[in-house]
Every structure is written in C-alpha cells, then in structure tokens.
Structure 1
Amino acid sequence: MGLLATSSAALAQAYPNKPIRLVVPFAPGGSTDVVARVIAPSMGRKLGQTVIIENRPGGGGVTATNEVLRSPPDGYSLAMATPSTTAANPAISTKAPYGPADLTAIIDVAATPTVIAVNPSFPAKDYAGFLAELKRKPASYAYASSGMGGISHLQMETFKSLTGVFITHIPYRGAAPALNDAVAGQVQVVMDALPSALPFIKAGKLVPLVVASPERLSDFPDVPTFAEVGLAPMNRMSAFGIVGPKGMPPELVRKINEAVRAALEEPAVRQQIERSGAMVITGSHEQYTAEINSEFALLKRVVAERKLTMDGSN
C-alpha cells in the first residue's frame, strides 16, 4: 500500500509532461464546447501543458465519453461531462457501456439554466400560449434535442408527463445542429442549455418561453421559471464538469481540480463563462461525485415512470 501511494504521488508530481486531451463529446458550438474552450487555455497554463480540445459528437455523447473512460487513468485523456453523458444516457440505455461508477468525477465547472424556446413563427410567444397551443393541436409539433437519451430529451419527456401534452422528439448529434434547425424553422421547439441558445435568443431568432433557474434571469425578466409555472421537478440547472477514467490517483485528481479552480478564479475566464449564460461553480471531487449520483438516480426514476427506451418508444 505504501509503494502504491508513493508511485501515485510521484505520478502526480511529474504530471503533466505532455499535452492533455480534453474531449468534448458533442459538436462545436454547443454549450459544452463553449465552456470547454473558455477554460482550456488557462487550465493549460496552470498545469504547464497545452490542453487540446477534441470534438467527438455522436451517440448522445456516450461514444466519445466511453472512449475516454477506457483510457489509462493517467490524466492525459479527460472528457467534458454533462448530465447527458454522466446520468441521462446511462439511465435510459440498457446497453450503456458505462455508468457513474466507471468514471472519476474531477470537478464541476459551471451550471447553466436550460430553456424551452421556439422559432419566431410558432403561434405562441409566451409559456401559457405555448402550452395551450400544444394542447389544442396534439402531435402537431416537434422538438429538437441534443440526442436520444440526452438530458434535453429526458427533460422534455418529463415536461410531457407533467403537462399531459404530446410533442414529437427529433434527436440531433449535439446541441448546435438542433439549434440550427430550430432557428431555420425545420423544428418548431428546442430545449437546451442557455449558453448555446443565448446568441440566437438575443438575435431574435428564437423566443424563450420558460427557464430552469433559481430565479428569473436578468436578460429575460418576463420569462418565468419552471417552478413558477408549476413544474418544480424541471427547475434544475445543468452542470458541466470534467471527468476521467475510473481509478485515477487522488493526488492527480486533486492537481487537476486545483488547476481548474485557479483558472476559474481569473476574472477574464469567469466573465466569459458568465457572459455565455452560465454560472461558475467550483466544487470538490466529492461534491461532483455526489451530484452525478443524485442526477442518475433521479433520471432512472423518470425513465421507469415514462417507460422510455433508446428507440424512442414509450
């Protein structure tokens, strides 16, 4: 045991001696990608090595995340994580190649409100009108999500369960293409984290209807929270963090955690994240682990109650 502890400490002391790969398991331009590209340069400076962003979309984020989790636990292959990759997909897929126990939760970086928004051509421009329209014309509308089994998919299925409406699910290979089609009017409704949706909302290309946030957002003072419209179970923000393979030495986890914390203390980094619509959070390894486990347990219940499957049937 003493030899193992010594070798782990030596590994952490020497780390890193080559570039670090930070995999974003979604397409460029989505909220996860936005946050990763803000923190990577400063994180690299703190560690003394370049942090290379690698976008690997597909499979709702599972494919790339699984590839990272199967890498050696030496800190050179890390993944940006979201509730989709750490909880939602493992909760819904009976063939998921990993679960929360198969990763090392290093640090949660930022939390973002999520928003239901519609194309400006949608008949309603506020939440009450939106809900009334869905009830008036059942099965006439569709919503775009970042992928089958992702957090936006399960959140919208929760919305359908709580409100009794039906709206068709159209999964995409990440938030960016889902947003693009919502903006283009190919799909009428989208639910996504605010950082990637915010530029389209500010440009008038999407209309926000309701947000998951502790309180109304200053940018949209007229847009209610889910809690205000009677959907308290949906009023949970999405957290972005960094994870690695199972079995990473505690000293290594601590070193990466401290580097990211230091990066997030830089005013320029914090301001960029906040301007994107996210809120900076810098929890410990233990706190992030507990958060992932709690989200996974909650979504497992949603999947069971809605009888959801990865083929879209329920």
Structure 2
Amino acid sequence: MRHSTCSIQNTFRKLFQLSLLASVSLMAGSALAAYPDKSIKLVVGFPPGGPTDMSARIIAPKLAEILKQSVFVENKAGAGGNVAAQIVANAPPDGYTFLVNSAAFAVNPALYGAAAGYSPKINFSTVAFISTQANVISVNDAVPVKTLAELKAYASKNKLSYSSPGYGTTPHLTCENLFRVQWKADINHIPYKGAGPASMAVVGGETPIACTAVAGVYQFSKQGKVRILGISSDKRSPNLPDVPTLVELGYPQIKDYTWSAMMAPIKTPNDIVQKMNGAVNFVLQLPEVKEQMDKAGLVVMSGDVQQANTYMTEEVNRWEKVVKEVGAKVE
C-alpha cells in the first residue's frame, strides 16, 4: 500500500460499508449479548496531548455510548510505546483491555529487538486503525530560519538538537533520515515520552527543533509559537497549505505517516474483536468525531479486521526496512 493520506483513506473507505453492516449484525447477535458487561480500558502508549492519546480520547466516549459501558483511557508511557504494549500483551484476552498505540508499535520490534518485549504478529490482533497524519519538522519562533534549506545551513554552523516523541516513533525516523542520512548533519536527538512533551520542548525552547506528527504542534503553529518548515506527506496538507512537502523540497524518499490503531491480546475471541472493530468504524463516521479529528490535524481511518491486520503486517515489514536503511539505534 502506498503511504499517502489519500490512498490510505480510499482503501479503508471502500471497506467501511461492509464493516458497518458487520457491526450492526454483531451488535444484535445473541452470542455477544453479554459483551460487554463491565468497563473497557484503552491503554495508550504515550502521555496526554499527542495524536495517539487524542485519537483514543475522541473515540472513547462515543464507544461507551454504543457499547453501553464506560470506556476509559489509561496512559502508560515509556520506551516509545513498549511499556503499554507489554502490559496489554500480558492482559487477559477477554475484550476488556485494548492497546491504542502509534506506528511505533510496528517500528519497535526492529529497533529494540527482543527488548521491545512483544511481537505484533505473535502477541496481538489488530482491531482497527483509527487515524493517520504526516510528520512535520518545526522550529521555535526564536530560531532565525524560515525554510528547511535555511535550517540546513544554520545546522552546519550551530550545534542543534531536536525533540521527538521517543525512539522508534516515525517522527524520530523521519528526522534521522533527513538530518543524518540526507544532510550528514550532527543534530542531537532528544527523545521525550510522547508528542505532547516533545512539542512543549520546542515551544518552550528546550530544543530549537521538533520532529512530531502534525497534531503535536498544529495549534502552536497557528498561535505563532513555532514554524513548521516541512511535512512528510506526498501532498500538501489542507490544514497546512503553506507548508511544503519533503518531496517538493528534494527528498522524494521521505513519505512517512504516524497512525494510531487499536490492538487486542492475541487470544481475544474473534467475535469480540469483530464487534469492537464495527463499533470503532461506526464511531469514526460520526460527523462530530470527524470534526474533532480534523481540528486536531488527524485524518480518520477505517476498515475491517482482515484489512487492519494486513496493513499492520505491511507496516511492520516496511519499518523494519527503514530502521535498517537509516541505521537507527536506541542510545
């Protein structure tokens, strides 16, 4: 699958009607009449304020309405999402604990090796993809550059650092590719525990540069606190029409996206996985949910369980290749 927002949207949208019909039948099925009969927990791999957390918190109250049980978000940040993944991998596979993680979930097994503590293929079933967005390179307003080319020249004369949501996140790999592989620049990576803290670092001047997904710095850019110099999508974002893509700027090999997805422990009954998939798809089509996602700079995704698992496999394989090519390491 090509990594463009449009292609992702189109591919998943084709399966929405099927997913919606499946969700309706499953919700009415007698076999699942008792599920859920208690609250459901969404374990998020990052702190509040980032795109993964935003995605979970936008859909949680609507899922609660559909499933007629409380759905609450619990943030378990650490090791680029590994802590949360390990917790859910070892949770009872009863449909009451789900993981909501970013694309780091697909990256980390290649980056951390056995230390990741989980395998996407062995320990999880992908329930649904929730949202996607491109990565951006932004600078604090005090940094005297207005373009990516100016940042490259500035970096050649000054010792700089950049914040990211953590090792193994796609923004980290986007900027490792740009700064170290393409520019051959020595820009120090400072990992934070999520996009929220990484974004606040550039806003507060802790780091002059930030590499995050769009949602992390979107509002700050509108407030004039940071300048976004480039975006890793294949086409310009409607929310950031004045920001050039890395493709436009001469880096056609960098087309990266940060998604958020829901996963279940591998032995969770298929009927429950299917029902949650249908519920998530239904919620993502609600106008108020789409509006909230759009305000956060997020693009809604959808699709059935088979499509979700196929796409996850593609992502795991793709990022394994990227990690090797970039030579990314956990320091």
Both structures adopt the same fold (TM-score exceeding 0.5)? yes
Take 2:272 and 2:128, find their aligned partners in 1: how far apart are those partners? 12
Question: Separation in 2 of the partners of 1:286 and 1:230?
Answer: 36
1:218, 1:270 → 2: CA distance? 15
* Letter matched to residue 296 of structure 2: S
1:129 matched to 2:154? The reply is no
1:204 partnered with 2:210: no
- Check conservation: 2:135, 2:170, Cα contact below 8 A: no
- Cα deviation, residue 10, structure 1: 7.3
How big is the shift at 1:178? Answer: 1.2
Equivalence for 2:273: 253
Does the 8 Å CA contact 1:113/1:277 hold for their aligned counterparts?
A: no
Q: 1:54/1:128 Cα in 2 relative to 1: closer, same or farther (>3 Å)?
A: same
Query: Is the alpha carbon distance of 1:306 and 1:215 closer, same or farther for their aligned partners in structure 2, counting shifts above 3 Å?
Result: closer
Q: How many residues align?
A: 300
Alignment gaps of 5+ in structure 1: 1-8
Between 1:296-305 and 1:257-266, the stretch displaced more is: 296-305
Q: Output the CA distance in 2 between the equivalents of 1:129 and 1:293.
A: 38
Q: Which runs of structure 2 are paired with 1:135-150 in the superposition (5 Å)?
A: 136-137=156-157, 140-150=159-169
Deviation per residue, 1:47-89 (Å, 9 max, x gap): 11110111111121111121011112111000112111x2121
Shift of 1:164: 2.5
Code of the residue aligned with 1:105 in structure 2: it is: T
1:274 counterpart residue number: 294
Distance 1:221 1:307 in 2: 32
Counterpart in the other structure of 1:38: 58
Corresponding position of 1:307: 327
1:6 aligns to what?
A: none
Cα pair 1:154 1:299 within 8 Å, conserved: no
Which residue of 152, 164, 171 corresponds with 2:171? 152
RMSD, aligned α-carbons: 1.7
CA contact (8 A) 2:239 2:297 kept: no
| Mapped partners of 1:87, 1:144: distance in 2 | 21
Among 127, 133, 149, the residue aligned to 1:112: 133
Identical pairs, percent: 34
* Structure 2 CA distance for partners of 1:286 and 1:249, relative to 1, 3 Å: same
The CA deviation at 1:201 is 0.8
> Is the Cα contact below 8 Å between 2:174 and 2:256 reproduced in 1?
no
**Distance in 2 of aligned mates of 1:115 and 1:306:** 18
Question: What SS does structure 2 have at the residue aligned with 1:78?
Answer: strand
Note the alpha carbon deviations across 1:105-135, whole angstroms, 9 max, x for none.
Answer: 000011112111010111211122122222x
Contact 2:139 2:208 in 1 (8 A): yes
Which residue of the partner structure matches residue 316 of structure 2? 296
Which secondary structure state, in structure 2, belongs to the residue aligned with residue 113 of structure 1?
strand
Q: What residue number does 2:24 align with?
A: none
Distance 1:287 1:137, change over 3 A: farther
One-letter amino acid of the structure 1 residue matched with residue 48 of structure 2: P
Cα distance between partner residues in 1 of 2:313 and 2:187:
29
Q: What is the TM-score normalised by the length of structure 2?
A: 0.86
Is contact 1:143-1:167 (8 Å) kept? yes
Choose which of 103, 117, 131 in structure 1 pairs with 2:124.
103
Partner of 1:4: none
Q: Distance in 2 between matches of 1:257 and 1:269?
A: 16
The 1:219/1:265 distance shift into structure 2, 3 A limit, reads: closer
Gaps of 5+ in 2: 1-28
> Could you say what secondary structure the match of 1:38 adopts?
helix
